[in-house]
Structure 1
Amino acid sequence: MPQMAPLMWLYLYSFFLLSLIIFMSINYFIKPYEKIDTKADSLSLPVQPIWKL
């Protein structure tokens, strides 16, 4: 029935907003891993010699 089409879009819009709110809240509360500082590790590694011909 054509009269039901606006309700379908309303349900789709509300489902999109609900999933967006859930996704944003999950991203807010779950923090990503902290990056490991690689500068401290690179100082302990031996430096490769520069080869000259």
Structure 2
Amino acid sequence: MPQMSPMMWTLLFVFFISLFLLFNILNYFNFLPEFFSSKTSQPLVKNHSLNWKW
């Protein structure tokens, strides 16, 4: 079984690194946070007041 040349290992490394970066960049820009997508003026944090009776 022939061995790969060092140039082919480098090309394979560059290929996988570029795929990894492309995947991460596309996922980063594809993410849409809730406060940008919601058109209503509802508060993001909900306060629940509890009446404690000791």
- Percent sequence identity over aligned pairs: 23
Q: CA deviation at 1:36?
A: 4.0
Q: CA deviation at 1:31?
A: 1.2
Q: Give the total of aligned pairs.
A: 43
Q: CA deviation at 1:16?
A: 1.1
1:11 pairs, out of 10, 15, 18, with 15
Q: With CA pairs under 8 Å and 6+ residues apart, which has the higher RCO, 1 or 2?
A: 2
Q: TM-score, normalised by structure 1?
A: 0.58
- Gaps of at least 5 residues in structure 2 are 36-42
Q: TM-score, normalised by structure 2?
A: 0.58
Deviation readout 1:20-44 (Å, 9 max, x if unpaired): 11011012xx113673421xx41xx
- Gaps of at least 5 residues in structure 1 are none
Q: Which has the larger radius of gyration?
A: 1
Q: CA deviation at 1:19?
A: 0.6
